[in-house]
């Protein structure tokens, strides 16, 4: 039994999705099921957030200001894509966190976006089965919300999604996954990153998914300047959600909003303040509001629910790190 499990995990790690023209009939049918399941997941999520009075906004593709993804130790960007638009240098969106903070402060107290992200991951991440160089997130933000508010919202949404998929989409998912979804219900267990490091070492992110049977929150993760950090205790008020077998499917935090604190963190971490002048001006003028939010990886969510071998298998046109197909 143990040998079969190890063999199965090794096979998943080595599985690389093919380009569409190289799929056989069985693989085409599997792809069709993933597309149908993706449609059902998006249908449920968008309707669920709309029912909770969130405003549905459109994404930003290019911007002078985007997520620095630094000094997050989990980031593995090989290069950043930059281009000129009207003689002005812009980048592809690495995440919409900065835009969400601004939009939530000025325009919508609750918002969500289906946001494309383009991150040139290191080539060796192709074999993890959990990384793509282009992917989508359901990014959401809530004004005056606490971390617990966000975590409770996510628990309720994912519990509802698991039941919806189990009731409506059993024919689209593996039987093993179908049985596991019945056990998805909040509240989820919470574990501190410091404890995980002491328990499993620096590779805790690889070990944890193999140890858990249900989704687990991981909190207190040193990260970018916009995640709230208590300077007195050194603790971070943020949270990632990990699912069995695969890994992290959601990342979020309570946000920093005080000008002096944001500037101090930028200077400490070597972040170029000129890339965030709008955010800093709003903060200095008292217009940046308290908020908390998160981003749910859509392809990762569907991978977990479907039991797919590789996250890029859930994409119609796979975006595998290190491989660029024609389509």
Q: Following CA atoms 265, 135, 200, 183 in sequence, which dihedral angle do they give, to the nearest 10 degrees? A: 120
Q: How far apart are the first and last CA of the chain?
A: 40
- Supply the range of the domain harboring residue 15: 2-183+260-314
- 246 belongs to a structural domain: no
- 140 belongs to a structural domain: yes
Cα 5 to Cα 13: distance, rounded to the nearest angstrom: 12
Looking at residue 9, its pLDDT comes to 43
- 194 belongs to a structural domain: no
Q: Which of 43, 154, 51, 139 is nearest to 97 (CA)?
A: 139
Q: Which of 97, 108, 116, 58 is nearest to 252 (CA)?
A: 97
Over residues 177-214, the pLDDT tens digits come to 888 888 899 999 999 999 999 999 999 999 999 999 99
Cα 273 to Cα 93: distance, rounded to the nearest angstrom: 18
- Name the least confident of 78-87, 128-137, 196-205, 245-254: 78-87
Over residues 273-288, the pLDDT tens digits come to 999 999 999 999 999 9
- 235 belongs to a structural domain: no
Q: What is the CATH number of the domain that holds 303?
A: 3.30.930.10
Looking at residue 226, its pLDDT comes to 98
Q: Which of 113, 172, 181 is nearest to 314 (CA)?
A: 172
Cα 52 to Cα 56: distance, rounded to the nearest angstrom: 11
Average predicted confidence (pLDDT) for the chain: 93
Q: Count structural domains, the chain.
A: 1
| Confidence check: pLDDT of 215 > 80 | yes
Over residues 222-265, the pLDDT tens digits come to 999 999 999 999 999 999 999 999 999 999 999 999 999 999 99
212 CB neighbour count, 10 Å cutoff:
16
Query: Quick check: 119 and 69 in contact, CB under 8 A?
Result: yes
Looking at residue 14, its pLDDT comes to 72
Q: What are the b/e assignments for 178-205, b being 16+ CB within 10 Å?
A: bebbeebeeebeebebeebeeeeeeebb
pLDDT grade, residue 72 (50/70/90)?
A: confident
- 122 belongs to a structural domain: yes
Looking at residue 121, its pLDDT comes to 93
Looking at residue 301, its pLDDT comes to 98
Instruction: Write the CA distances from 162 to 41, 158, 179, integer angstroms.
Output: 10, 6, 10
* DSSP code at position 86: T
- 207 belongs to a structural domain: no
Query: Quick check: 77 and 99 in contact, CB under 8 A?
Result: no
- 320 belongs to a structural domain: no
- 149 belongs to a structural domain: yes
Q: Structure pTM?
A: 0.93
């Amino acid at each position: 039994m143990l040998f079969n499990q190890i063999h199965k995990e090794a096979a998943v790690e080595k599985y690389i999705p093919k380009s569409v023209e190289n799929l056989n009939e069985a693989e085409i049918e599997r792809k069709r099921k993933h597309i149908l399941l993706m449609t059902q997941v998006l249908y449920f999520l968008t309707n669920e957030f709309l029912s909770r009075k969130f405003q549905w906004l459109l994404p930003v593709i290019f911007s002078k200001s985007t997520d620095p993804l630094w000094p997050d130790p989990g980031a593995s960007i090989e290069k950043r894509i930059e281009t000129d638009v009207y003689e002005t240098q812009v980048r592809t969106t690495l995440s919409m966190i900065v835009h969400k903070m601004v939009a939530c402060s000025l325009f919508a107290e609750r918002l969500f976006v289906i946001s494309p992200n383009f991150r040139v991951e290191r080539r060796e991440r192709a074999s993890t089965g959990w990384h793509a160089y282009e992917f989508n997130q359901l990014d959401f933000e809530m004004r005056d919300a606490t971390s617990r508010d966000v975590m409770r919202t996510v628990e309720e949404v994912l519990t509802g999604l698991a039941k919806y998929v189990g009731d409506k989409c059993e024919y689209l998912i593996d039987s093993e996954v179908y049985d596991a979804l019945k056990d998805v219900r909040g509240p989820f267990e919470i574990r501190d990153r410091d404890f995980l490091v002491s328990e499993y070492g620096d590779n805790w992110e690889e070990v944890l998914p193999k140890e858990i049977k249900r989704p687990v929150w991981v909190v207190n993760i040193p990260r970018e300047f916009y995640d709230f950090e208590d300077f007195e205790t050194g603790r971070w008020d943020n949270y990632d959600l990990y699912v069995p077998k695969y890994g992290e499917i959601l990342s979020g935090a309570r946000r920093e909003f005080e000008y002096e604190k944001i500037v101090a963190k930028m200077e400490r971490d070597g972040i170029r303040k000129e890339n965030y002048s709008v955010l800093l001006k709003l903060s200095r003028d008292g217009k940046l509001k308290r908020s908390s939010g998160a981003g749910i990886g859509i392809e990762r969510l569907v991978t977990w629910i479907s039991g797919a071998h590789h996250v890029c298998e859930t994409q119609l046109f796979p975006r595998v790190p290190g491989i660029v197909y024609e389509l």
